[in-house]
Structure 1
Amino acid sequence: MSRDLSRFLAPRSLAVIGGGAWCAAIVDAARRIGFSGTITPVHPTKTAVAGLPAVASIADLPEPPDAAFIGVNRHATIEVVKDLRAAGAGGGICFASGFSEAVAEDDSAGDLQAALVDAAGDMPILGPNCYGFLNALEPSGLWPDQHGLVPVERGVAILSQSSNIAINLTMQHRGLPIAFVATLGNQAQTTQAGLAHHLLDDPRITALGFYVEGFGDLRAWEALAQKAHARGIPLVALKSGRSEQAQAATVSHTASLAGADAGAQAFMERLGIARVRSIPAFLEALKLGHMFGRLPDARIATISSSGGEASLAADTAHGSRVTFPALTAPQETALRDALGPMVALANPLDYHTYIWRNEAAMTRAWSAMADPGIDLIGLILDYPRADRCDPVDWEIATRAAIGAAAQTGARYALVASMPELLPEATARHLMDHGVLPLHGLDHAIEAIEAMSGDVPDAQPPVALSGSDAETEEFTEAAAKDALRRFGLSAPKGDFATKATAVDVAQAVGFPVAIKVQGLAHKTGAGGLALGLTSVEEVQAALSELADGPLWIEQMIPAPLVELLVGITRDPAHGFLLTLAAGGTLTELLDDSQTLLLPAPRASVEQALFKLKLAPRLTGYRGSPPVDLTATLDAIDAIQAYALDNSATLHELEVNPLILTQDAAIAADALIRKAPDVPD
């Protein structure tokens, strides 16, 4: 259901329902941000709350409120929401907890949340279990605590599933203009993606930031990303969950390779949502987005008056996508003219202190670094403590930075190596004059990496996962037969016992491989014998193999590369396609890439060439290349099976997929899925 949030989020009249200690905080927060409309407390027995005249019921309000804060217990909240909706209110903040987040402790909590949504109907609500919102564009808000926002003309919006994190973000001292903050709590009705979709219609919103615990409705996020990218509004996320180790029951390598967070990471990459690891980097990325949007790439130059800072800049970026292009001839000429013969020219640049305190010379030198091949020029500068030192010389540097940006039209940032050494007033002044203030070299580099490069082309909607019913595991033969029907090549084979193994091996045709069925990891567990070329070799191998049913198949030609191709069901994000080094190397190499289904062929190819083993795909040290077309065809076939069985599939793995000069052949396969449901 589409809801108009305009009246609710830019209110002229507020109602505060309940009489808790937070009531005075709500009134103070609204006045602090500059709200000039009416605020009416609602309390059944008190005639005044927080110094304001109160009314006894919602029916007694002088007019339907544009926004109401509902500060009563969870059961009473549902009745209040019904009354507000009947009165024609614009929307409500549901403060109470004990809804869906408490299901583990209270079986009725889920039913309460459903009742709340039903009570709200078409009236917007935030929460439950949330603090509310602050609007610094149309100064207003319902917020039961202190905050650090002031009115702004334009700026970023921050939407958080955590109220406390949102409070802390409003207290930043980094010069970031925050235009709107909302907490969403359980997102019973209004979600992060839905609220962000509304905010994108306001041209004063320059970037959107999210603290995300779970995405929920994937289709809503896909629509949001499409709309944001069409309007050039960058999306930044701080997503919790990287450290989760718990995995669904699995018998393959794939889930452990992907990790608990892989689905979220793949989803954000697919949608072009910049992800950062920390709150400071989140704020720096939003500042960058506010000032410049996404950078074309992560090619930067840094300028400092210290060789130590130049080295530190390079070291901080090491291992990231951030690069320092070599100086061009025009840059070298302009820098030499500005700095003279005593400075060694390089990027990062140590300009020494020959031009310190000379505003014109500093402006000329810093302007000389501008070049079309540089996406951002960082001036590394730490300001002294104003309470103990004289900052006059640094004010000269501030003017030089602003002058260089004005003269060249290039993107300039002033980067403090330590966040506390870039004063907030200076940061705001720089931003007002076109220079990006970045607090902390490490957080600056992380923000630049996250906020650079083109957003990916639109991809098909992710495949949603199906049943979580009890599963059954296919035999290797059945798994290969199932995949063969979708175009995957697999060797000829048959079942056997130790008593019939010789006859089956002869019927299959030498050389053969013998595999003991029912072992999760056959290598090293007496579960595998390879390259057997005669009856005698089969007989010798049988004495070494573990007991169990056998699968005997034709031996595949010697591989150039062994690849793992796995698909796992992720209830939160669909299906994960994992590509990794296969065979015995899977557990030794930290070498994998994860995509979401359906993964376009071009994306799969890009992922393959991000693997550490990629050089072996095209020929390494004289070895021939693999058949890349056959490899991609095989991965397409595996995907096709998964998509056709998405309602029941839990896990699929081909390991190894043997890659040769002219083929891609499944040497082993595993499928685990719920039984098919008859039509």
Structure 2
Amino acid sequence: MSNQNSALKAPENTRPDLGNRHPLTPLLAPQSVALIGASTQVDAAGNDMVLELLDGGFMGHAYAVNPKYDEIEGIRCYAALSALPEVVDLAVIAVGNGRIEAVLDEAIELGVGAAVIFGSAYLDEDPQLSERIRDKARTAGMPICGANCMGFYNMDQGLRAFPQHIARDFRPGGVTYISQSGSVLTGLLWNDQKLRFNLAVSAGMELVTTAADYMDYALEQPSTRVIALFLEAVRDPDAFVAALEKARQKEIPVVVLKAGRSEAAAALAVSHSGAIAGDDAAYQALFERYGVIRVKSLDELAATSLLLSQPRRMAAGGIAAIGDSGGEREVLMDLADEANVPFAAINDDTVASLKENLDPGLEPINPLDAWGTGNNYQQIFEHCWQALMDDPDTAMGVFMADLTSRFWLHESFARVCRRVSMRSTKPVVMLTNHVGTDSQDLAMRLCRAGIPVLDGTEQGLSAIRHAMDYRDFLKKPQDNLPEAVGLDISLKWRTRLSQAQMLDEYEGLQLLQDYGVPTQAAMLADSLQEALQAGEQVGYPLVLKTAMPGILHKSDVGGVKLNLQDSAQLRDAYEDINSRLGSRVLLAGMAQGTAEVAFGVLNDPQFGPMVMIAGGGIFIEVLRDRQIALAPVGQRDAREMIDKLAMRPLLDGLRGQEACDVDAVAHALSRLSLLASDLGDLIAEMDVNPVKVSAAGCVAVDALVVPKAALETEQQSVQQETH
């Protein structure tokens, strides 16, 4: 830690060229720091940030800035930034909102490299303050942490730029933790000492520097093993996607706790696709594309990050588990089944080794209860545990014990874990049965030995399942994307969709046909005579639907007549629809199928076009059974989407029915995803519902296409009428 007696760099008037350094180096790894607003007031941000810097062990040059003092906590204090003997890399600003802009102006004029702004940068009398600060910093190329943030810890640099002080040493590790909530940051940073961080950032308002930028920096650090995120929103979608792709290339897992999974968009949606997707659909699709691990709670975030921060990657197969309780083993088996965590299928050699070592009456199975008489228990556990770990189908080892520090039995279990772990290349974890065990001291020692301790069976198993999913994601071969259509086809439909006019169902079916999605044969008619002629060409039985403009959901207005068997029924149906709704109709053959699905296309303003498949009927209306992916997707990935549907068993044929051609559905979904990729920027929403599925393939029966231009025109008209 430097003070006023340290050797200082010569003053400089301009910032040096960063060269090959990361753009966030002046912010996160500065060589010199100015603490603006430093003070001697106990428990105030101005004093706490000085104590944090001192306790972190920062080895660069540090200056306090406040005209009231000559020194604070042993650090020399200056009246202003301009009075410092050098232009610092980082200015940490802890002043009132009314002074932030003036301080930032001075920092920019001097050429300071970066800033941390703790304050909210908001004034009732000056609502544009934060925007001006953002614009000035961006123009100057100055990264800023905040505003309205708690700063960061960079353990690799021994630097804490933080407005609240806790007198504790933190061991550096491999978890990068980026949070858009300060309290969520300290909830783990200060309270779960099993987690060891290399970087922990409270991103705040992200006026300039976003979560994506911090991710990019972390991905360049050799110490980063896993990135944990608490997200409320993504403010730079392109940079965020680029960071996820970089993480995938480097095989560094990203774990996300995303807040705000609301359904607010559903009430505004025109189509079923928009209604059942919800606001969170794009995040779900994005995370699945890049193998992002999504968690539901802070506990799950901590457990998953802890597991993935250990250096060993999970092998193929399932888990091998050992413990000292038959009852706890049964609970583990029940919960593992619910979490879809498989146990390793141990081979005959492993079974024989277990039999040789276990006390009489104990079953040589996985998971293993190895406690018998207690005689020679440590040798029994070690030999059995080693046999389980050596089994070819063991992906990782799980030792179950409610750890109590300094208790002789649990200390010996820990020794067994350490010894077996040293002889294996596979991950080994300790799993407690509940989170209230007195395990902190022993757990810390195990974690330092490279053996994570996961607190609580459920969240521990969730972490293990996430690790398995990430393992499988990395091994997944790249899918072949669908073959492109001709340029003339895409240009034709881009021109049509650019018009401020809704597509009718007939056009929607033509659009699907042009992109290779099988559709039911259909014809338009505008009179009874045309309808009768079309009926003969299409063939009976057939469906008659209104094709009058503006009617989106035809069945809601009695605009659909099914299973018309002959011309007489067609005549009656046409006359009814004509009298109520209008003369224009569409005729189509009665598509046959043993099951129904629904397709959809959506366009997210941040992450672009998406394709959706949902179960038909009750599955889409009530159960909201759907899968969503960023477009385009290959046929293999489309098949995986289908396999995740709750209605998937219906496609295999029930009660003597033939199994459906699932590959045909996957092919059609992949083709639709190409349509979404080509044209999605012009489509607000698109429904293909129902899609009839049978052993012979699949066929789209109906299509609702809402061009963005048409929707915007309609919304403008409504606004004008309202005003």
Whether contact under 8 Å (1:226, 1:458) holds in the other structure is no
Residue 580 of structure 2: which of 524, 544, 547 is its match? 547
> Which residue of 1 is the match for residue 9 of structure 2?
none
- 1:325 is aligned to 2:333: no
Whether contact under 8 Å (1:356, 1:362) holds in the other structure is no
Please tell me the residue identity of whatever aligns with 2:543. A
> Which residue of 1 is the match for residue 601 of structure 2?
567
Change (3 A) 1:647 1:578: closer
Comparing 255-264 and 77-86, the one that deviates more:
77-86
> Which residue of 2 is the match for residue 447 of structure 1?
463
Partner secondary structure for residue 363 of structure 2:
coil
Residue 481 of structure 1: which of 510, 518, 524 is its match? 510
> Which residue of 1 is the match for residue 410 of structure 2?
394
Q: State the Cα distance separating 1:368 from its structure 2 match.
A: 2.3
Change (3 A) 1:246 1:294: farther
> Which residue of 2 is the match for residue 23 of structure 1?
46
After superposition, the C-alpha distances for 1:127-167 in whole angstroms (9 at most, x for unaligned) are 22212111122211210013476343532111111112112
> Which residue of 2 is the match for residue 88 of structure 1?
111
> Which residue of 2 is the match for residue 578 of structure 1?
612
Q: State the Cα distance separating 1:35 from its structure 2 match.
A: 2.8
Residue 689 of structure 2: which of 623, 638, 655 is its match? 655
- 1:222 is aligned to 2:241: yes
Q: State the Cα distance separating 1:503 from its structure 2 match.
A: 6.2
Whether contact under 8 Å (1:136, 1:149) holds in the other structure is no
Partner secondary structure for residue 586 of structure 1:
helix
Change (3 A) 1:284 1:297: farther
> Which residue of 2 is the match for residue 425 of structure 1?
441
Q: State the Cα distance separating 1:367 from its structure 2 match.
A: 1.6
Distance 1:118 1:6 in 2: 16
Whether contact under 8 Å (1:357, 1:396) holds in the other structure is no
After superposition, the C-alpha distances for 1:395-447 in whole angstroms (9 at most, x for unaligned) are 11211221222234432211111223152221222123332211111111111
- 1:340 is aligned to 2:359: yes
Distance 2:375 2:258 in 1: 42
Please tell me the residue identity of whatever aligns with 1:454. D
Higher helix share: 2
The correspondence of residues 499-648 of structure 1 with structure 2, limited to 5 A, is 505-506=535-536, 508-516=538-546, 520-523=552-555, 526-541=558-573, 547-549=580-582, 551-583=585-617, 585-617=619-651, 619-620=653-654, 622-628=656-662, 630-648=664-682
Change (3 A) 1:644 1:207: closer
Gaps of 5+ in 1: none
Distance 2:701 2:408 in 1: 71
Distance 1:160 1:469 in 2: 40
Q: State the Cα distance separating 1:579 from its structure 2 match.
A: 0.7
Distance 2:166 2:684 in 1: 46
Distance 2:157 2:531 in 1: 80
Residue 180 of structure 1: which of 199, 209, 214 is its match? 199
Please tell me the residue identity of whatever aligns with 1:380. M
Please tell me the residue identity of whatever aligns with 1:247. A
Q: State the Cα distance separating 1:328 from its structure 2 match.
A: 2.1
TM-score, normalised relative to structure 1: 0.88
Distance 2:601 2:182 in 1: 36
Change (3 A) 1:649 1:590: closer
Please tell me the residue identity of whatever aligns with 2:145. L
Comparing 166-175 and 607-616, the one that deviates more:
607-616
Partner secondary structure for residue 271 of structure 2:
coil
After superposition, the C-alpha distances for 1:543-601 in whole angstroms (9 at most, x for unaligned) are 87693245331223311332211011222322221111225653244432111112223
Change (3 A) 1:663 1:393: closer
Change (3 A) 1:627 1:88: same
Comparing 34-43 and 190-199, the one that deviates more:
34-43
Please tell me the residue identity of whatever aligns with 1:17. I
Comparing 152-161 and 291-300, the one that deviates more:
291-300
- 1:295 is aligned to 2:286: no
Whether contact under 8 Å (1:137, 1:151) holds in the other structure is no
Change (3 A) 1:74 1:503: farther
Whether contact under 8 Å (1:359, 1:399) holds in the other structure is no
Root-mean-square deviation (CA, aligned residues, Å) is: 3.3
How many residues matched? 664
Change (3 A) 1:363 1:150: same
Q: State the Cα distance separating 1:479 from its structure 2 match.
A: 1.9
Please tell me the residue identity of whatever aligns with 2:581. G
Distance 2:97 2:499 in 1: 36
Partner secondary structure for residue 449 of structure 1:
helix
Q: State the Cα distance separating 1:214 from its structure 2 match.
A: 2.0
Whether contact under 8 Å (2:351, 2:364) holds in the other structure is yes
Distance 1:170 1:509 in 2: 70
> Which residue of 2 is the match for residue 35 of structure 1?
58
Distance 2:96 2:675 in 1: 50
Please tell me the residue identity of whatever aligns with 1:555. G
> Which residue of 2 is the match for residue 411 of structure 1?
427
Distance 1:331 1:150 in 2: 44
Gaps of 5+ in 2: 1-17, 482-493, 713-723
Please tell me the residue identity of whatever aligns with 2:443. A
Distance 1:664 1:364 in 2: 56
